[in-house]
């Protein structure tokens, strides 16, 4: 019996070049940076730095930031020309794209790291002096002669958690239901809702604050300012972010899952609760994270509607309430090094608090479809399965 060899190459072996022409200009991607590529990049960077330094020295210009941007632009040009002359236009485009992507990522990460490090350096003394007093005390002793060990942001932490929590409770169901409606419906009304959501996404924060102030605070006069009023203003800002992000997440749920559930006789609402939302759980948590990031540092809506208070107020529905961004705003403009130091300490606490909220959202949304979740209908289904067994 005649046997034929398998024409396919073994696993890990490079694929043979296609017939019909040379492939000299095809980019060859590697997991590691080769020594030749590293030498080319370093040489281009050194040549660009020398050229920019000579130009700035001759012209007498002293601008470190401008020099850095000019150095990167010249390096990008020199490295692109070098790759084009050595390897061809396709590999040159590929290398230049890599440099552009990595350069943009480093600039973004460097800026974020610089901001966080600066806040830590300015606020660590206030937070960790007599720790944890700064986290549990309030601002009732605020004054020109007060020391940093007499001040704290405990009341502001409570207000921020309650206001952001209420805004999230208001926004998430509305945002998810609106996103589901926009995904499954195509009519003039849904297009109008989509246009309104897009318009609200770019609305300034002060517009949301004035809207709730006129609608809720002004009719109630002095008793209108409260943590709940600030939460409603924050919810107005958070709603379009959650709706748009949730719409994109729900839209990419495979249609075969919905069709299979509908073919088994499940109604639309059960398909949404038992198939669509559990499948998009991680993406929905990302939408919530984006919404929280949008409202956690806002000052104008809280300033108009919460009012601010130096003491604790555990009830967000009655009386004025403090908030971390509002406390930072009020303290940073007051004279005195101690009061400004407390503002930097509040900034550090706000960064840590937002980070903890992000970690909690990621924890609740971890895992993919089909795994255990924290949604109520999954628990009910598990309990009924155990009872039937």
Residues 193-238 have pLDDT tens digits of 888 888 888 888 888 889 999 999 888 877 888 999 999 999 999 9
Q: Is 20 helix (H, G, I), strand (E, B) or coil?
A: coil
Q: Taking residues 133-156, report their average pLDDT.
A: 84
What is the rounded distance in angstroms from the CA atom of residue 284 to the CA atom of residue 374? 13
Structure confidence at residue 30 as a pLDDT band (50, 70, 90): low
What is the rounded distance in angstroms from the CA atom of residue 197 to the CA atom of residue 213? 21
What is the reported pTM?
0.73
What pLDDT was estimated at residue 269? 81
Contact at 8 Å (CB) between 225 and 307? yes
Is the predicted pLDDT of residue 44 greater than 80, yes or no?
yes
What pLDDT was estimated at residue 374? 46
Instruction: Name the more confident of 212 and 361.
Output: 212
Q: Taking residues 55-64, report their average pLDDT.
A: 85
- Identify the CATH homologous superfamily for domain 136-373: MetI-like (1.10.3720.10)
Is residue 7 exposed (0-12), middle (13-18) or buried (19+ Cβ within 10 Å)? exposed
Residues 314-335 have pLDDT tens digits of 998 988 999 999 989 888 888 8
Contact at 8 Å (CB) between 200 and 240? yes
Q: Where in the chain are the domains? A: 35-111, 136-373
Exposure on the CB side of residue 202, measured as CA atoms within 13 A: 4
Percent of the chain clearing pLDDT 90 (strictly above): 22
* Mean per-residue pLDDT of the chain: 82
Structure confidence at residue 373 as a pLDDT band (50, 70, 90): very low
């Amino acid at each position: 019996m005649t046997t034929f060899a398998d024409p396919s190459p073994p696993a890990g072996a490079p694929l043979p070049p296609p017939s019909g022409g040379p492939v000299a200009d095809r980019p060859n991607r590697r997991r590691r940076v080769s020594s030749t590529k590293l030498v080319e990049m370093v040489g281009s960077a050194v040549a660009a730095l020398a050229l920019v330094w000579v130009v700035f020295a001759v012209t007498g210009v002293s601008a470190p930031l401008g020099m850095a941007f000019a150095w990167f632009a010249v390096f990008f040009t020199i490295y692109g020309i070098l790759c084009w002359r050595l390897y061809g236009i396709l590999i040159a485009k590929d290398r230049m794209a890599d440099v552009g992507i990595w350069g943009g990522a480093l600039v973004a990460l460097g800026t974020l790291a610089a901001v966080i490090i600066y806040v830590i350096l300015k606020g660590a003394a206030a937070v960790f002096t007599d720790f944890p007093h700064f986290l549990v005390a309030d601002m009732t002793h605020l004054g020109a002669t007060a020391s940093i060990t007499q001040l704290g942001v405990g009341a502001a932490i409570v207000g921020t958690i309650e206001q952001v929590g209420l805004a999230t409770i208001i926004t998430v169901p509305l945002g998810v239901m609106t996103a589901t409606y926009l995904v499954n419906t195509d009519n003039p009304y849904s297009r109008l809702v989509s246009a309104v959501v897009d318009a609200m996404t770019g609305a300034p924060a002060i517009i949301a604050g004035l809207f709730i102030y006129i609608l809720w605070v002004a009719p109630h006069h002095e008793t209108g300012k409260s943590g709940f009023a600030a939460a409603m203003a924050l919810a107005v800002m958070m709603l379009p972010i959650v709706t748009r992000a949730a719409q994109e997440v729900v839209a990419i749920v495979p249609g075969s899952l919905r069709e299979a559930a509908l073919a088994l006789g499940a109604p639309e609402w059960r398909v949404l609760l038992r198939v669509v939302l559990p499948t998009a759980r991680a993406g929905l948590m990302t939408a919530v994270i984006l919404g929280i990031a949008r409202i956690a540092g806002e000052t104008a809506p809280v300033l108009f509607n919460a009012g601010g208070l130096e003491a604790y107020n555990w009830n967000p529905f009655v009386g004025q309430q403090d908030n971390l961004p509002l406390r930072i705003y009020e303290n940073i403009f007051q004279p005195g090094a101690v009061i400004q130091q407390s503002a930097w300490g509040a900034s550090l606490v706000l960064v840590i608090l937002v980070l903890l909220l992000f970690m909690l959202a990621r924890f609740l949304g971890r895992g993919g479809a089909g795994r255990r979740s924290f949604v109520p209908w999954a628990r009910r289904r598990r309990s009924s399965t155990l009872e039937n067994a």
